């Protein structure tokens, strides 16, 4: 899980336990968020829901 501040409010974004301890790069443009690992692989892409503190992973 990573934590991101948006409009003075903390939001927690789930990225999965398999990525625990992984260095990540978070790219943010307005409410659009992309989380990449150090190799540039996309781990998660989402649109932030500013009404929710936790942004869970979606199931396929």
The answer to whether residues 36 and 27 touch, using CB atoms and an 8 Å cutoff, is yes
Above 70 in pLDDT, residue 60? no
Question: How many angstroms separate the CA atoms of 3 and 44, rounded?
Answer: 14
Residue 9 pLDDT: 94
Q: Does pTM surpass 0.85?
A: no
pLDDT digits (tens, 9 = 90+) for 3-22: 999 999 999 999 988 888 89
């Amino acid at each position: 899980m990573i934590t991101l501040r948006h409009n003075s409010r903390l939001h927690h974004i789930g990225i999965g336990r398999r990525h625990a301890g992984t260095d990540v790069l978070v790219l943010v443009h307005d409410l659009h968020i992309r989380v990449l690992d150090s190799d540039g692989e996309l781990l998660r892409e989402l649109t932030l829901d500013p009404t929710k503190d936790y942004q869970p992973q979606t199931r396929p």
